[in-house]
A and B are shown apart, each in its own frame.
Chain A
């Protein structure tokens, strides 16, 4: 994609402001190459001759370009059973605590926020099937969401390459995937049916609240792409999406304490997680 003109400093700033307003993701001058590469991608895809003409196209939202643009910016590389110590924590501690207030047959709701192409919510389902003896005694609801409609389509198709499956044993792959040609594997249909996918922008409260409250939210390596202000808004939205006593798991390099005072830190054997207090403080 050579010979496409680079945006001027002013154009770059306007673009970042626009991206920030639409998604809450904040990019500074040092991420310039990363931003430009994606803009070039979209310019080439739309046949735009200059940055100015592309930006005009974007702002008038011709051919759903805003969504395409957002899609180009979201970061989607992941694999099954990533950071599995948190999955251990889910079955050893978090669910045990949540179930102490529930009866058999009650609903357990788990949300994988920013789930990309679905590896995380499907990993949660597989992990529960393999490691949680209560899996048939509760109505387990697993929701995956992302801001990026393109990855959600992939998540729905549930087809993965070798790399995404690298942490899974052959037994697990045999049990929960159908082999397709060209080294692709598709999640078996019943397992696809047990996860639902939806578009959610974490900084938009109307969007987050539409999905009700959850027992556990996984929101790993997402907030790191937000600036302080949107990170706080997202954290407040996520808080509202938790049942009292519900838990949120972040990536291992992230700390909720630096973002919002709303949550209590809980240290379990396998992971540190954040909890919405049972009783809301005045």
Chain B
């Protein structure tokens, strides 16, 4: 299976982080869309078919956990898009809060290139 059709939406307010994840994921063969916060991500999802969300927690306007909670309450396929939370927060309660909000996996920043690609492939169901 190829990654050609797989699209990942990176939701992070830091432009430099979005460039960083985009370059890693594009090099691994994914298509990448970007959103600056949860609200923008919800809007993007109305018009784009997305296979995986990579979501920061602390963002203005709508943070990552509120975004995931909102998304998981939706009807239809949008509600079940896999989500990888990427955050600098590393306490147990942060992991638990993310899981409760609907995150499938949680990675603590800084995230290594290989790690991001490995998780993206796994969550998109793509072989290396």
- Within the assembled complex, what's the spacing in Å between the Cα atoms of A135 and B23? 13
Is B19 within 8 A of A191, CB to CB? yes
* Chain B contacts to A: CB under 8 angstroms: 14-23, 34, 58, 86, 88-90, 108-112
Is A136 within 8 A of B15, CB to CB? no
How many residue-residue contacts, CB under 8 A, span A and B? 55
The digit string for A125-138, where 1 denotes a CB below 8 A from any CB of B, is 10011000111110
List residues of chain B with CB within 8 A of the CB of A129.
Answer: 16, 19-20, 23
Is B110 within 8 A of A134, CB to CB? yes
Is A188 within 8 A of B19, CB to CB? yes
Closest to B111 in A: A136
Is B109 within 8 A of A190, CB to CB? no
Closest to A134 in B: B110
Is A133 within 8 A of B110, CB to CB? yes
A269 at the interface (CB under 8 A from B): no
Secondary structure type dominating chain B contacts: mixed
Total interface residues in chain A, CB < 8 Å: 20
Q: Nearest Cβ in chain A — how far from B59, in angstroms?
A: 12
A18 at the interface (CB under 8 A from B): no
List residues of chain A with CB within 8 A of the CB of B109.
Answer: 104, 136-137
| Known A125-B16, A190-B19, A191-B15; further 20 A-B contacts with Cβ < 8 A | A104-B88, A104-B90, A104-B109, A104-B110, A128-B16, A129-B19, A133-B110, A135-B16, A136-B14, A136-B21, A136-B86, A136-B111, A137-B110, A140-B14, A188-B19, A190-B16, A190-B18, A191-B16, A194-B14, A194-B19
List residues of chain A with CB within 8 A of the CB of B18.
Answer: 190
A176 at the interface (CB under 8 A from B): yes
The digit string for A93-132, where 1 denotes a CB below 8 A from any CB of B, is 0000000000111000000000000000000010011000
- Within the assembled complex, what's the spacing in Å between the Cα atoms of A139 and B88? 10
